Amino acid sequence: MFVFLSLGSNISPRHHYIDAACRLLEQRVGHILRRSSDFYSAPWGYTSDHQYLNIALLLSSSLSPEQLLVATQLIERELGRTVKNHYQDRTIDIDILRCFSSPASSSASQAENSCSSASAAELVSSPEYTSPASAEELVSSPEYASPASAAELAPSPEYASPASAPELFPGSEITISTPDLVIPHPLMWQRPFVMVPLREVSAGFPLPSS
């Protein structure tokens, strides 16, 4: 499936946390097809002196939405996020915005994806997820300690929209409403820091109408 995510950080070093989250998403969730430019915004829903850095991502993934939720929440915890569903400064926030089925998803495309279709319980117990590095280790590691500037990231071959709209062939939008997960994200239309980056990476996909 195709997945749109919103990432935000307002605890320094913000670029390091965003970059670390992108690398972990690439390793565990799926291939990053598009990454928006950086968007800066004031905190939403509470008051803080620390401005947010926000981006949107489009990924291809073989995980189910429920497995995706488990994976993103684990990444948040590994990067120092301790409280969810509470407005406060945070190292990283990862929100699932929209999901689309992929008519072209085949055994070949699933094999290309680094993530298996394991259950949520299997994801949690997997050795890949049970030895999380601390936030300090992640942001100080040479692998993560090169948070390119917005200008550098925009033309980067890794994130510069390698897949065109005709190549993506988005299927139908996936809708979910459970106590733990609601897709599309119910509040995204109210948040410019979500919608501006989202529209930047949504070419070829139906834009949100609300």
Report the alpha-carbon angle 174-210-44, nearest 5: 95
Give the residue numbers marked as catalytic: 81, 90, 93, 95
Task: Give pLDDT, residue 206.
Answer: 86
Task: Give pLDDT, residue 36.
Answer: 96
- Cα separation, 198 vs 185, in Å, equals 12
Give the three-state DSSP class for 181.
coil
Give the three-state DSSP class for 188.
helix
CATH code of the domain occupying 2-200: 3.30.70.560
Report the alpha-carbon angle 185-5-144, nearest 5: 150
The residue with tokens 């301790």 is: 82
pTM for the model stands at: 0.72
- 78-108 exposure pattern, b = at least 16 Cβ within 10 A, e = fewer: bbbbeeeeeeeebbbbbbbbbbbebeebeee
Question: CA–CA distance from 58 to each of 21, 47, 51, 143 (Å)?
Answer: 14, 29, 24, 22
DSSP letter for 190, please. Answer: G
Task: Give pLDDT, residue 90.
Answer: 86
Taking the chain (210 residues) in consecutive chunks of 10 residues, what is each chunk's mean pLDDT? 95 93 96 95 77 95 96 93 71 95 54 39 43 46 38 38 56 93 92 92 81
Task: Give pLDDT, residue 104.
Answer: 58
Q: Are strands 173-174 and 176-177 parallel, antiparallel or unpaired?
A: unpaired
The DSSP-derived string for 107-145 is HHHHHHSS-----HHHHHHSTTTSSPPPHHHHHHSTTT-
Task: Give pLDDT, residue 161.
Answer: 44
Sign of CA pseudo-dihedral 129, 130, 135, 136? negative
